[in-house]
Chain A
Amino acid sequence: MSFAANHPASRDQAKVLNRFDITKRLVKRLKHDEAVIGGIGYTNFDLWAAERRPQNFYMLGSMGLAVPIALGVALAQPKRKVIALEGDGSILMQVGSIATVAARKQTNLAIVIMDNGTYQITGGQLTSTGLGADIVAMARGAGVAQSAWAADEGDFEELIDLSLREDGPWLIGCRIDREKPADTTERDPPRIRDQFMRGLGVKA
């Protein structure tokens, strides 16, 4: 299809990006109080470092649940765009959730995968994406047709803009480096949840 044809055909062909850099680029493009669910690990830490938006939710455990949590928010608030930010090791734990998103045809949901092929926070052990598994291809197989690798920084921004403008679901694969995160998320779950609910207008 033409959508896929404009982007790298496989993980190998995507440029290796810097996680903090593209997280900042992502956050800068959010103009309509879009919700962002940060999975665990360095993906989460760099989201915290990029900007402490009240519409950001930071998981602290429950590895793999960024996509399900984002799907729940998207179901509850169909007019708001929701982004799940997840690592490669994490999405491999709940890869079935991509099929659930596809089956729901959740138009206001985008999944962004930060893929450096390692469980970086635990010492850099290889994940299966570091050994050849291709998350974008897996997502297409699960039924998320609008799945693509970001070719470079500019392409990443274009894909994010597209996912915010047009109906999804979307999956944007990002090959990233193994830089340390810029900060560490404050571990205060009730405060994170309360601020998030206020940011979504659920609590006054």
Chain B
Amino acid sequence: MDTETPGMSWHEIVVDVLKRHQVKLVTYVPDNVLRPLIEAAHADPFFTAFSCAREEEAVGIVAGAWMGGVRGIVLMQTSGFATLPNAIASLAVPFQIPVLMMVSERGTLGEFNIGQSLVAKTMRPVLQALAVEHHTMTRLDEVEFIVDRSITQAVATQAPCVFILSPLLTGGKVFAK
């Protein structure tokens, strides 16, 4: 099994693996936990990174880019994922497009916003209902293996894949008045 590169943070590992797999397009609706990953994508000329008005739009762009020959990933938080079942069920899955998605998980392990904690509970049941491959990453030493292997699988099987960033990995968002 691959092990973590000593001293690397989760987002540095993700950037590394995305580059290795030629995932060049990063579309997102921002989130605080994702901030270092978003900033790294903007800072690195390898990536084309920009924000979208809605998560569905970000999925559509990545789907179009895939058909045009460029790989991409959508970054969002759990409440944003809750807007996506239609786009996943009527675009990514039936057209067999490997849309990669990374979700910063809110709603658990210290959530302070009841709206976030309720909407987060819809995420895994939706993914299970659609039979979409998804992995929750909780430890630094599993990030590279999960992202690396899952991108390979998504492309090979022409299927979308969702990476869930647990607060156990990222620290999450802490309560602030």
Contact = CB atoms under 8 A, between A and B. Distances in A.
Interface stretch (B5-13, B52-60, B163-171): B52-60
Chain A interface category by residue count: 35 or more
Contacts of B48: 75
A65 interface: yes
B63 A69 contact: yes
A73 B59 CA distance: 12
Contacts of A190: 94-96
Interface in A184-199: 189-190, 192-193, 196-197
A144 interface: no
Contacts of B3: none
B72 interface: yes
Give the secondary structure class of B's interface: helix
B90 A100 contact: no
Contacts of B59: 65, 68
Contacts of A189: 94-96
17 contacts: A37-B64, A59-B91, A61-B90, A62-B56, A65-B59, A72-B25, A72-B64, A74-B68, A75-B25, A76-B66, A77-B69, A94-B53, A94-B54, A97-B52, A100-B57, A189-B94, A200-B67
Interface of B: 25, 48, 50, 52-54, 56-70, 72, 86-87, 89-91, 94-97
